[in-house]
Structure 1
Amino acid sequence: MYSLFAWRYFKAKKSTNAINIISWICIVAIIVGTTALILVLSVFNGFEGLVKSLYASFYPDLKISPSSGKILTISPEQLQQIRGIQGIKNFSLVVEEKAILQNGTNQTIVYLKGVDANYEKTTTVNKHIYSGNFNVGTNNHPLLVMGIGIEGALGIRAGSDVLPLTIYVPRKSNTEELNELENISSDTIHTAGSFMIQQDFDNKYVLTNLQFLKSAMRLDENQFSGVEIAVNNPAEADQIRERLDGIFGSTYKIQNRYQQNQNLYAIMNLERWIFYAVLCIILIVAAFNMVGALTMLVLEKQKDISVLNALGASKNFVLKVFLSEGLLLALIGGGIGMAIALALVILQQQFHLVALEGGSFLINYFPVELRITDFVLVAITVLAVSFLASLVPAIKASRQYFSLRSE
């Protein structure tokens, strides 16, 4: 019943044309606000998915690392227990340490990461090779696979260098005094290739043979920096982590992919909500228009309200009629806005209409991704703002008394 009155009031011709104009301005503002919210959230979804996929190329599903310090000791029995856990696809033993790479007068500090033969089965770094090939060599003939940022800093083309690079690696030491001859290992080494994943990795990491790096650092046979684990089903990662906790205890730190990148995910989520809050201002502007439109409509429908009162309509009935009118404007504007946003997102996914400028990205267009939760969130926001905006004129309409008797 309330919706019927609201619909008739909306489409009925008004005595003052300004009421129609303000009502449509209100609807247009809601359309713009709804479309903008859906589009921005979809772009954030697209970039979030892209970044997560890039980080997933380098970070494993699970990682075991020392709770303090850089080195952990893993016994053969513990490795055997890892192999016995159902759901683990593969795991790789790794060692990480800062090192210096030098090519003539060019030198740079890198994060040197020694990996074993299972590393290609644990991560997908080998699928992001930019030049050369993925080959870390052997203990006696090690090779380097580096990020393209390091390749540029050294002024080389990885995989095609004639002269070897010089590498300096700190050795394990029990003393705080630095002795260059005793505590620094230097060697010459060739490159096999370079990878391009994401700037955080491309400018930082260099991969090499695990046994070579352990020998250079003078680590014992059972000493490593961590164990990187790939699972068959990422949804079961937390369950597998609990089983690993039972094997290693509190002296080890076991993290899933989210925990390894917690700061990144927190920042992305914060940015998402900040933009959402800023764009809600458009809906607040629409709310001001709605207050004006409904207030003028109340004045327009004074006689109608008097007739309803004479027929026994309660104040609550009048209140609900004008609340329904406000929600009707929200439904029309919000529905059209969502339809426009849906069409634009689908067009961007299919035809890449909006390009990314600069040419330094992995993709040359804005990534977008539709999520049903975004539509639900925006719908709730539009209805909530419209309800609050309609409440004031609706209450005023229900509290006023109009008489049909002419003076």
Structure 2
Amino acid sequence: MKIPFFIARRYLRHTRKQRNLVNWITWISVVGIAVITAALVIILSAFNGIEQMVSKLYSDYDPAITMRSLEGKTFDSTTVNIESLRKIPGVVSVSKAIEETVIIKHGKKWVNARMIGVDLSFVEACKLDKHLVDGYPYLEENGEPTGVIGASLLDKIDGYISELDGHEELMLYTPLRDASIARLKSPFKVSPLKIVGRMNYNKDVNMSDLLVSIQYAQIQLNYEDDITAIYFQIKKENIDEVKAILSQKFEKKFQFKTAAEKNELIFKTSESEKKIVVLILLFIFVLAAFNLVASLNMLFIEKKENIETMERFGASKRFIFQIFFIEGLLISAMGILIGLILGIGVCYAQINWGFVQMPNTGGEIFPVILRVKDILFILGTVIVLSTLSSYFPVRYLVRKTIR
């Protein structure tokens, strides 16, 4: 006579009154699995938020693709048909640019800076107006050239934009092309420049960059049609396709770099940190699963007499294995369910109410992004680990105990 499965399981569960030790170990298993599962959800969501924040800080300012000459620092812009580049599918805008290292002086303080001469299309593409600490996103005012400087760079030379006149005046020392120290008193062209805005993108930009109009940069450097780069703003889904078209079009004359390639170290470091943390948490989950093994072991010892009774009634090894295996799965399922609810709940609270703030940001909320694919990854991984943690111990105990 075969014993119905649910009756056998209930029999094993309720035949003894005192199960304090087994209960404690079982609940420790549930709590351990729940905590690690919740931590995985929270950590992955936090990394998603950080990645998006870093991507936004760099992608807003850095062009999708930067084109530079392989033959020298500058090239003649008239040799490149800008209009034909704008017609490439996926290209949003094309901007000529001049980049040069300059010296800025304010009072008795001097500092090196990277002057970038750009046109209006780049100012719009990099959303300059949304990244201003103070001032205005203008590169020209009343016919006069003006500049927008990195916030930290202006602080470094004790400059500030006065509310009274709306600007700060600096002295700009620009190196002259083919200048000879023997013939000239100074190899620099010295000009005053009004700074009308301070920008805040990322640490590198904030500490080094000065935006001016491309016409002003050409005058300062005595460039006629020469430029140092062309910036492309491209739809995200078309970046690789456009890069391939440009590389084929210009063969070996120009180099093309995407924003991701330009900041490869930053993005790869963030991705590597995410993977390492997830692996550490999964390893801790495996350690927490040993509590599940201990719980099943204690349960098996406690029910040894009941197992022998069931054997006399005709219960097979497979039948008894299924009872304890499902018991382990139920313990794991409880921990996983509690962990998912807890992790998603914490992320939801952070997204909506922002309990945790970024340090040294003036109250900016720590970014958290929940993604379905991450939840599915966590769910699949912890289910596999929990199943293995239940299957092998129970299989070993059944083989060792039952003849």
Distance 1:80 1:162, change over 3 A: closer
Q: Give the structure 1 partner of residue 381 of structure 2.
A: 381
Q: Tell me the alpha carbon deviations over residues 197-229 of structure 1, each in whole angstroms, 9 at most, x when there is no partner.
A: 2222111111012122223223341x2221111
In 1, distance between residues paired with 2:333 and 2:183?
Answer: 74
Match of 1:129 among 124, 129, 132: 132
What's the counterpart of residue 217 of structure 2? 213
Post-superposition shift, 1:109?
1.1
The aligned counterpart of 1:41 is 44
Structure 1 letter corresponding to 2:277: F
2:373 paired with 1:370: no
Please list every run of 5 or more consecutive structure 1 residues that lacks an aligned counterpart in the other structure: none
Corresponding residue of 1:394: 394
Q: In the alignment, is the contact (CA less than 8 A) between 1:114 and 1:208 conserved in 2?
A: yes
- Once superposed, what is the RMSD of the aligned Cα atoms? 3.2
**2:191 corresponding residue in structure 1:** 187
**2:236 aligned partner:** 234
Q: Which residue of 2 aligns with 1:322?
A: 324
Task: Give matches, 1:159-170, under 5 Å.
Answer: 160=165, 164-170=169-175
Q: Is the 8 A contact 1:291 1:392 kept in 2?
A: no
What is the CA–CA distance in structure 1 between the aligned matches of 2:105 and 2:7, rounded to whole Å? 80
Quick check: 85-94 or 322-331, which moved more? 322-331
TM-score (normalised: structure 1):
0.86
Q: Which amino acid aligns with 1:219?
A: Y
Q: Which moved more, 1:72-81 or 1:392-401?
A: 72-81
Residues 234-256 of structure 1 deviation map (CA, whole Å, 9 limit, x = unaligned): 21222222222222223322233
Find the residue that maps to 2:292 and give its secondary structure. helix
Secondary structure at 2:211 match in 1: strand
Partners of 1:99 and 1:6 in 2: how far apart? 83
The one-character-per-residue Cα deviations of 1:34-87 (angstroms, maximum 9, x if unpaired) are 111111211111122122112222112222223475334443553132022122
User: Does structure 1 residue 345 correspond to structure 2 residue 350?
Assistant: no
Of 314-323 and 49-58, more deviation after overlay is shown by 314-323
Does residue 260 (structure 1) correspond to residue 249 (structure 2)? The answer is no
Opposite residue 193 of structure 2, the aligned amino acid is I
Correspondence 1:172 to 2:177: yes
CA shift, 1:342, in A, is: 1.1
Is the Cα contact below 8 Å between 1:3 and 1:325 reproduced in 2?
A: no
Alpha-carbon offset, residue 388 of structure 1 = 3.5
Q: Report the Cα distance in structure 2 between the residues aligned to 1:2 and 1:234, rounded to whole angstroms.
A: 59
In structure 2, how many angstroms separate the alpha carbons of the residues matched to 1:139 and 1:361?
35
**C-alpha distance in 2 between matches for 1:293 and 1:321:** 14
- Provide the TM-score with structure 2 as the length reference: 0.87
User: 1:301–1:163: structure 2 CA closer, same or farther, 3 Å change rule?
Assistant: closer
1:286 has 2:288 as partner? yes
Alignment partners' CA distance in 2, 1:6 and 1:213 = 85
Deviation at 1:301, TM superposition (A): 3.1
The separation in 1 between residues aligned to 2:89 and 2:268, in whole angstroms, is: 31
Could you give the per-residue CA deviations for residues 73-130 of structure 1, whole angstroms, max 9, x where no partner exists?
A: 4435531320221222211111111111001101211111111122123221232122
Q: How far apart, CA to CA, are the structure 2 residues paired with 1:49 and 1:298?
A: 49
**Maintained 8 Å contact 1:6/1:325:** no
Map 1:63-102; keep pairs closer than 5 Å: 63-67=66-70, 69-102=72-105
User: Aligned residue pairs: how many?
Assistant: 398
Alpha carbons 2:41, 2:340 under 8 Å: kept:
yes
Residue type of the alignment partner of 2:20:
N
Deviates more, 1:22-31 or 1:122-131: 122-131
CA distance in 1, matches of 2:252, 2:142: 33
What is the rounded CA distance, in whole Å, between the counterparts of 1:367 and 1:118 in structure 2?
A: 30
User: CA, structure 1 residues 362+229, in 2 after alignment: closer, same or farther (shift >3 Å)?
Assistant: farther
Q: State the distance in 1 between where 2:216 and 2:333 align.
A: 66
Structure 2 residue 88 is the aligned partner of structure 1 residue 112: no
Which range moved further: 293-302 or 322-331? 322-331
The code of the aligned residue for 1:368 comes to V
Matches of 2:12 and 2:379, distance apart in 1: 21
The equivalent of 2:204 in structure 1 is 200
Amino acid at match of 1:146: I
Check 1:107–1:332 CA distance in 2 against 1; reply closer, same or farther (3 A cut).
same
Which residue in 1 is equivalent to 2:337?
335
Q: Is the 8 A contact 1:348 1:354 kept in 2?
A: yes
Residue 133 of structure 1: CA displacement?
0.8
Aligned in 2, Cα 1:323/1:246: closer, same or farther, shift over 3 Å? same
| 2:303 aligned partner | 301
